[in-house]
Structure 1
Amino acid sequence: MKFLADLHIHSRYSLATSKNTDVESLCISARKKGITVLGTGDFTHPAWFGELKEKLVRAKDGLYKPNKSISGKIEKFIPESCEGIIRFIPTAEICNIYKKGGRTRKIHSIILLPDLSLAEKLNRRLRKIGKTESDGRPIFTFDVVNLLEMVFDITDRAMFIPAHIWTPWYSLFGSRSGFDSMEECFGDFSKYIFAAETGLSSDPDMCRRFSGLDGVTLISNSDAHSPMKIGREANIFNTSVCYDSIILAIKKGCPEEFAGTVEYYPEEGKYYADGHRNCRQSLLPEETDRCGGVCPVCRKQITIGVLHRIQALSDKAKKKETTQKYLKTIPLLEILSEIFQLNPGSKKLLLWYNKLLEQFGPELDILNFTGIGEIRNSGVPLLAEAIERMRKNEVTITPGFDGKYGTIEIFKKEEIAGMKLMLNRLSGI
């Protein structure tokens, strides 16, 4: 069966995350988004791990599902049109900070395990050599290769995935603390790396300009720090809903089983362009080169973004069109926010959001698959036009840089102004 999986999220125990994140809210949001398989995130954190053991039970397919008490509690918060199952895979993200090749390296990695008992075994080992209770994404000061060895020593069914591989800080190829190749980081253990996470600021076509990723499956996940961010990126599988089938599909990377990804517009990612946020300087790679890599205002070092870093490592003459299919999306609340000119978190927008889910089903279905003709009957002026433009990439983007998200505009201001009276009336629901 075809389904969506988001394998990299965080609990409320990670830094800079929503304190309202619990198993219940994750289940509700996943169903509303149309996500079938969700990573648990943060299984290394003792309190979160305890909550996972308490609230999840083993399903017949071998994955985890919410227990009966949780399942009964959440149904009243989910529209009937968003029917479906929700399954969990034990996942965690770990940070390694260490010296190698004369430089400080900061690498984030995603770990997938087939069951919570193996996660508990890994947790016991990690607690002997560092702290796991202070952050859901724990930091260790040993080589990431040693972490990989530790994980596969526990089970050869694990999957070890470099996270958001182009982010300037804390990533495999990051401009500030990363490496120039998989082999430089992992050496002979590179053969155990079957997948890499693109991150919000790149897409598969950008990544395929670098031959160092040939033969590696490019996956995409939300890295959500709150339930509403789930599914902003995700993976499309066409397999049975079970751990081994998912892992095998990633390893093989064939489109019949790993059917593609749902992508953020990379320009909207907060590290797409170069820049210096404090001075409000956003630069394209050629502009950074002309400035000698320093801010034209204060002369401090520019943060080299994902686009520039990919260009620097690119060894292919031109952007290679990947055979991997992917869908670029804009979160539905962001679209509604532009139409109604309201904050994405406003109660009025949330009312419209839920009304649309009741009418058409999960968010990712609306954005990618629901017919434009059907959406014209939604009662929201410009919504069908907005989604059609999104699907055709007919949008205007101000790129993100140095930790600041980019902005997307679907409409010109006069288009919104022409509908202002009707929109004001509708926003009063």
Structure 2
Amino acid sequence: MKTNKYFVDLHIHIGRDKYGKPVKITASNNLSLENIIEEAKIKKGIDMIGVIDAHTPAFIEEMHSYINNKKALELAEGGIEIDNVCLILGSEVEIYDHNCKGPIHVLCYFPTLKSMDQFSRWLSERVTNINLSSQRYYGSAIDLQHKVKDLKGLFIPAHIFTPFKSLYGKGVKKSLIEVLDPGKIDAVELGLSSDTTMAEQIEELETYSFLTNSDAHSLGKIAREYQQISMMNCNFKELAMALKQTSGRKVEVNYGLNPLLGKYYNSVCKNCLSDNITDSSCNDCGRSGIIKGVAKRIQEISNSSVTPVKRPPYIHQVPLDFLPGLGPKTLQKLLKHFGTEMHVLHYVSYSDLKSIIGERLASAIIMMREGKLEIKSGGGGRYGKINK
């Protein structure tokens, strides 16, 4: 049975709802549903997106309006089609379980608007403000997993290694079984500061598909990480099958930042963000207090005897706006000539790129494809940089 290949980004926030009220406080005001759809399809070339603030009543109301006015179609096998983009309805929840060392962010996805509405009503009794993103849920993480599964949903721990609000960063001492039911996890999201080579050192993750999503807080960050997935069609059921690697459906390729570019790769001083540190203090400013980086945390919990399973290739990819000298005007010129960012990133030849943006930037894009760019690592909330 022949499958098709689709570009997928499953972690996109809503900045403002249809009434102009904030949903994700730290997200751009321009992150409306309409703008997300336009950015994903026309500029980025993404086929399936996950909006993870779809639990908010205003979003649910907006989706009903889209469907009633024939601007969207709810698919029989789950998901909502808008302008040839498949929208997967999701919710990011911040878990405070008494078994947790610290808060954990998880992503919960549902096949239908009805099931998302049911989840929203259930969640509204357990959080302070159902109108906002990533709300604090004080309760059992396993109870949350059970609810997601009762509604035929998908449960995916988010950015699992970042120092704050993640499974391994703060949530558990050593193992996910301290907090979660491993049988009710459908995949794990790696986050910007890790990749497959790093994550596969954790033996208990070997049965899960790895996802690379953008966690976009602005339109431009959509698809800074994404994956290509083989499915028969773009819908929720096919996505679920791909995460379980069923009947030829699977994640084909992960495209993500080189972990060195992530904000939390290195351990750094809390005060001055220097990486000239010992385990407890800074050699530059002399202050104590270290933000432990993802690389260090994985080293602490890795299994030396683990035998990595065969996984899809992880392609280190640099978003176009990370490249020095490639500003908004140059990006628009590329899109005008070549269509979408996906096309520029993956398919346009060196000679065609050179004819539009010159030799230096064309070479940088090709070097990016081949993983040859030199990078200065990031940490403590500060992104890494491409060396000029």
- The alignment's TM-score, normalised by the length of structure 1, stands at 0.81
The equivalent position to 2:12 in structure 1, one of 9, 32, 35, is: 9
The aligned residue for residue 19 of structure 1 is 29
Corresponding residue number in structure 2 for 1:416: none
> For 1:129 and 1:231, how far apart are their aligned partners in 2?
32
TM-aligned CA distance change 1:197 to 1:254, over 3 Å: farther
Report the equivalent of 2:81.
65
2:56 matched residue in structure 1? 45
Q: In structure 1, give the amino acid aligned to 2:108.
A: I
Q: Do residues 270 (structure 1) and 285 (structure 2) align?
A: no
Larger radius of gyration: 1
AA of the residue aligned to 2:98? K
Structure 1 partner of 2:178 = 184
Alignment equivalent of 2:347, drawn from 350, 369, 372: 369
297, 301, 325: which one aligns with 2:313: 325
Evaluate the alpha carbon distance shift between residue 143 and residue 235 of structure 1 in structure 2; reply closer, same or farther with a 3 A threshold.
same
User: What is the CA distance between 1:301 and its match in structure 2?
Assistant: 2.0
Out of 221, 226, 240, the residue aligned to residue 218 of structure 2 is 226
Q: Which residue of 2 aligns with 1:210?
A: 202
TM-aligned CA deviation for residue 122 of structure 1: 0.7
The reply to whether residue 257 of structure 1 matches residue 250 of structure 2 is yes
Alignment partner of 1:282 is 2:275: yes
> Quick one: structure 1 residues 226 and 55, their matched pair in 2 at CA, closer, same or farther if it must change by over 3 Å?
farther
Secondary structure at the residue paired with 1:374?
helix
Unaligned runs of at least 5 residues, structure 1: 72-84, 341-348, 412-429
Shift of 1:134: 5.2
Separation (CA, whole Å) in 2 of partners of 1:145 and 1:318:
27
Q: Is the 8 A contact 1:210 1:314 kept in 2?
A: yes
Change (3 A) 1:371 1:315: same
2: CA distance, partners of 1:120 / 1:179: 34
Q: Equivalent residue of 1:105, what SS?
A: coil
For residues 183 and 306 of structure 2, the distance between their equivalents in structure 1, rounded to whole angstroms, comes to: 27
Q: For 1:108, what is the secondary structure of its paired residue?
A: strand
Distance 2:131 2:178 in 1: 30
8 Å Cα contact 2:74/2:112 also seen in 1: no
Instruction: For 1:232, give the aligned amino acid.
Output: R
Q: Which moved more, 1:250-259 or 1:129-138?
A: 250-259
Structure 1 residues 148 and 122: alpha-carbon distance in aligned structure 2, compared to 1, 3 A threshold: same
Q: Match for 2:125 among 111, 125, 128?
A: 128
- Displacement of 1:59: 4.6
Distance 1:329 1:254 in 2: 29
Alignment partners' CA distance in 2, 1:177 and 1:282: 24
2:378 and 2:87 map into 1 onto residues whose CA distance is 32
Alignment partner, residue 156 of structure 2: 161
Matched residue SS, 1:279: coil
Q: 2:378 aligns to what?
A: 400
2:8 and 2:229 in contact (8 A); partners too:
yes
Tell me, yes or no, if the aligned pair for 1:23 and 1:55 is still in contact at 8 Å. Answer: no
Aligned AA for 1:63?
G
Structure 1 residues 318 and 395, CA, compared in 2 at 3 Å: closer, same or farther? farther
Shift of 1:169: 1.2
Report if aligned partners of 1:277, 1:401 keep a CA contact under 8 Å in 2: no
Q: Measured at CA, do residues 391 and 270 of structure 1 come closer, stay the same or move farther in structure 2, by a change above 3 Å?
A: same
1:91: how far off? 0.8
Look up the match of 1:238.
Answer: 230
Q: 1:248 aligns with which of 241, 244, 256?
A: 241
Contact 1:303 1:402 in 2 (8 A): yes
CA distance in 1, matches of 2:28, 2:120: 24
Whether contact under 8 Å (2:31, 2:219) holds in the other structure is yes
